[in-house]
Amino acid sequence: MARAEIFQIYYSDLTRAEVDPGFIPLDNTANERPDWREYWPIRNFLLNNTLDAQAHYGFFSPKFRSKTGLDSTFTHDFVRLHGEDADVISFSPFFEEMALPLNIVEQAIRHHPDSLDTFSQCANLIAPAFRIGESVMSSRDTIFCNFFVAKAPFWAEWLRGCERIFEVAERADTPLAEGLNRVVIYGAWTAPAKVFVIERVASLLLCSQSRWKAAAPDLSSFRVEANPELLVLDALKIACSETGKQTYLTVYRQLRERFAARQKGGAPRIPSQRK
């Protein structure tokens, strides 16, 4: 039976008190590099510890429960049930952000249109064959907030990809580095673009490397009741990925346009990826 070592990062006495008792507290009170957000403590752990090849590991922010509605009991139970066959298990929220965009990079650009070049270049560093306007991703291979657990080989691959981004940003000597370190707005908060790039590395690996087996609980129901079209859009993308038939993608695009037109203000069109 699969087991997991799931850490929950805390930054202060307040967030320490909010750590789920079923998770392992991960101290980041020094917060030496707040510009990297959760990547800094995750990076330090992976660089300084040897992972058990038989276990799944996870590193969650203090907002795991508020964003997903899940607790440690559900999370560990799901890993025990599905971990034997899965390299990666996602507990990602935001089903609408998986279903509506074509892929996670398109989703990023919808929210941060000024960072098109940054996201597209970084996506190609992690997954050279990736194309913003062509690569299809669904709820099966999309992860937000780094809310996933994975076996050691996937974490090793994830760290290699993230370190490529880290090195470019830390050198700060190229236009891409400038883009990575540029502060962008998300909701009422701000963060460097590199934080949002790192958040997409796991998804890019799942999308581009077929050797990884993934699993996830169905967290879509709370959105489907309000917008059942989202479930249809996601299913069409899954069908396209599984069969390779472009008919599913054509129908997806048609339905998405109609869905967006009904939303207030519609959805902005995604710029074509630059060659």
pLDDT one-digit tens code per residue, 91-128: 999 999 999 999 999 999 999 999 999 999 999 999 99
Beta bridge partner(s), residue 5: 57
- The span from the CA of 195 to the CA of 13, in Å, is 24
Give the largest Cα separation in the chain, rounded.
53
pLDDT above 90 for 263: no
Least-confidence region, from 31-45, 77-91, 216-230: 216-230
- Length of the chain, please? 275
What is the rounded average pLDDT of the residues 147-171? 98
Q: Are 77 and 100 in contact (CB under 8 A)?
A: no
pLDDT above 90 for 49: yes
What is the rounded average pLDDT of the residues 192-209? 97
The pLDDT value given to residue 269: 45
The pLDDT value given to residue 224: 53
- The span from the CA of 239 to the CA of 246, in Å, is 9
The pLDDT value given to residue 270: 45
- The span from the CA of 169 to the CA of 172, in Å, is 5
Q: Give the Cβ contact number of residue 62 at 10 Å.
A: 21
Percent pLDDT > 90 in the chain is: 84
In whole numbers, what is the pLDDT of the chain averaged over residues? 91
The pLDDT value given to residue 268: 42
Q: Are 207 and 127 in contact (CB under 8 A)?
A: yes
- The span from the CA of 142 to the CA of 98, in Å, is 6
The pLDDT value given to residue 106: 96
Q: Give the Cβ contact number of residue 106 at 10 Å.
A: 19
Helices (H), ranges, 49-151: 64-68, 72-82, 95-99, 104-111, 116-126
Q: Within a 13 Å sphere around the CA of 216, how many CA atoms are in the beta-carbon half?
A: 22
The pLDDT value given to residue 226: 54
Tokens of 185: 């707005």
CB burial string 245-256: b at 16+ within 10 A, e below: eeebbeebeeeb
Tokens of 152: 């050691």
pLDDT above 90 for 6: yes
pLDDT above 50 for 57: yes
Tokens of 195: 């934080």
- The tens digit of pLDDT for each residue in 130-153 reads 999 999 999 999 999 999 999 999
pLDDT above 90 for 259: no
What is the rounded average pLDDT of the residues 171-199? 93
- The span from the CA of 139 to the CA of 101, in Å, is 11
Tokens of 101: 């965009």
pLDDT above 60 for 219: yes
pLDDT above 80 for 182: yes
